[in-house]
Amino acid sequence: MSDEPIDDQHDEPERTTLDIEGDAAADYIEELLDIADLDGDIDIEVRDGRAYVSVHSDDEEANLGVLARQPVVAALQELTRLAVQRRTGEYSRLVLDVQGSREQREQELRDLVADAAERLQAGDARVALAPMSSYERKLVHDFAREAGLGSNSEGEGHGRHVVLSHSNAPADADAEAGEPEEAR
């Protein structure tokens, strides 16, 4: 047996920036839930180059439904990003989900693209969708590509939106990922 001290730090995998972002976000959300006297479980996952933080509860009395509305989730996500940035000193692109609201919104966006495809088949040359966040626009570009539609983002700031067309011109979804937050 060696008399050398054991270095446990080398046994643990190195924490990534996204892991640290996720932990900072979870701490912020946990504190927020405590202040609001709400109960919820928080899961952190890293995928697609982003920290995904999910708040959920199977308890009917948890009252997370009030937080699961899309405008509230978007506002909480922004506040959480700011809290993470204050703690880490780095801009965060984390994604927040409350009670599956992201999956529900993704389905709504899929349905929007399907409805637009029907309008295009019926003779419309272009279909402009309502303004949405850059994350949602990226999803729409992906769904449009899957449907064989062309898509482009138009407008600026809070008025930025996706226009769908018959064309299979390349979508500018890649530009969405690097877009500054104030344009979302």
Low-confidence residues in the chain, pLDDT < 50: 1-13, 169-184
Amino acid at 143: F
Q: What is the pLDDT of residue 14?
A: 60
CATH code for position 57: 3.30.300.20
Order of strands across the sheet that contains 41-47:
41-47, 50-56, 95-98
Instruction: Kindly compute the dihedral angle of the four CA atoms of residues 147, 154, 109, 93, in this order, to the nearest 10 degrees.
Output: 110
pTM: 0.70
Nearest of 150, 17, 39 to residue 84 by alpha carbon:
17
Please indicate, yes or no, if residue 61 is contained in any of the structural domains.
Answer: yes
Residues 93 and 150 both lie in one domain = no
Domain count, the chain: 2
Q: What is the pLDDT of residue 169?
A: 45
- For residue 161, what are the domain limits? 103-183
CB 129, CB 116: distance < 8 Å: yes
Residues 89 and 110 both lie in one domain = no
Please indicate, yes or no, if residue 3 is contained in any of the structural domains.
Answer: no
Q: What is the pLDDT of residue 48?
A: 84
Please indicate, yes or no, if residue 32 is contained in any of the structural domains.
Answer: yes
Please indicate, yes or no, if residue 2 is contained in any of the structural domains.
Answer: no
Q: What is the pLDDT of residue 61?
A: 67
Q: What is the pLDDT of residue 13?
A: 47
CATH code for position 167: 3.30.1370.50
Reported as a single tens digit per residue, the pLDDT across 116-143 is 999 999 999 999 999 998 889 999 999 9
Residues 108 and 94 both lie in one domain = no
**Distances in Å between the alpha carbon of 31 and those of 26, 40, 83?**
8, 11, 11
- How far is the C-alpha of 149 from the C-alpha of 157, rounded, in Å? 24
Residues 21 and 94 both lie in one domain = yes
- How far is the C-alpha of 184 from the C-alpha of 176, rounded, in Å? 9
Q: What is the pLDDT of residue 156?
A: 95
Residues 126 and 61 both lie in one domain = no
Amino acid at 69: R
